[in-house]
Homo-oligomer: A and B are copies of this chain.
Amino acid sequence: MHEQLLQPINAPTAVKIIEAAMPLFMKRGYTAVSISDVIKAAEITKPTLYYYFSDKEELFVQMGLHLMVMMGGQLQDATQGTSTAERLTALARVLLAERNADMRLMRHEMFEHVGPANRDLLVRAFYTHLFAPIEAVMTDGLATGVLARYPAGILSAMFLGMSDSFHEFGQQARLAQWSIGTVGHFANPMLGAETMVDLFLNGVRSGS
């Protein structure tokens, strides 16, 4: 049971379960998704799920690890650009991609509904796969003099946080609901990766 946690899932049925569970957990959260929902989506039966995962929490943790490794690979690719601004834009594009999950919700759920041991696993994965690539770009940006004023760790946290916000406000489905005030009037492109990097680098003060 426990050593299974540390090695990758290879059984095709287990992968099928994880990939069926991912959009559910990421949209509705941990408790709102029942095991029944997952087995319906994965088109299996309950004991099959419990053959591969010891309980609901382990399924969630494995799903989280799967997700972070996936996104981590994309982030790694995004650091290949030549300039810092280019790399940041590529990173932002990955973080804002529609199919990529809301990492803010993931962080909340893993701190709220996952036990200490598994939480530690997820936190480490978050750092290794998501945070570290971003931090590397920031460190390089500071070294080459493009960035300044804050240490790489803080810059990375800010960048990730901003991407969470842009990710949320950029979802059309939700923007449609938002159409009471001014927020509803703007279109998607203004909340894209370029805008985010622009805000990150230059701020919004007049004349910058």
Contacts and interface: CB of A to CB of B under 8 A. Distances in A.
Interface stretch (A1-9, A39-47, A174-182): A174-182
Interface residues of A, number: 65
Contact of A135 (B182, B186, B191): B182
B186 A153 contact: yes
B156 A183 contact: yes
Given A153-B183, A154-B191, A161-B169, 16 more contacts: A29-B112, A102-B108, A104-B104, A107-B168, A123-B180, A127-B178, A148-B206, A149-B204, A151-B185, A152-B182, A156-B183, A157-B169, A158-B162, A161-B166, A165-B165, A202-B205
A182 B151 contact: yes
Contacts of A113: 28, 32
Interface of A: 27-32, 102, 104-105, 107-108, 111-113, 119-120, 123-124, 127, 131-132, 135, 145-158, 160-162, 164-166, 168-169, 174, 177-178, 180-183, 185-186, 190-191, 199-208
A203 B200 contact: yes
Given A31-B32, A112-B32, A154-B186, A135 B181 contact: yes
B180 A112 contact: no
A119 to B, nearest CB: 7
B207 A158 contact: no
Contacts of A202: 203, 205, 208
A108 B120 CA distance: 25
A158 B127 contact: no
Contacts of A157: 165, 169, 183, 191
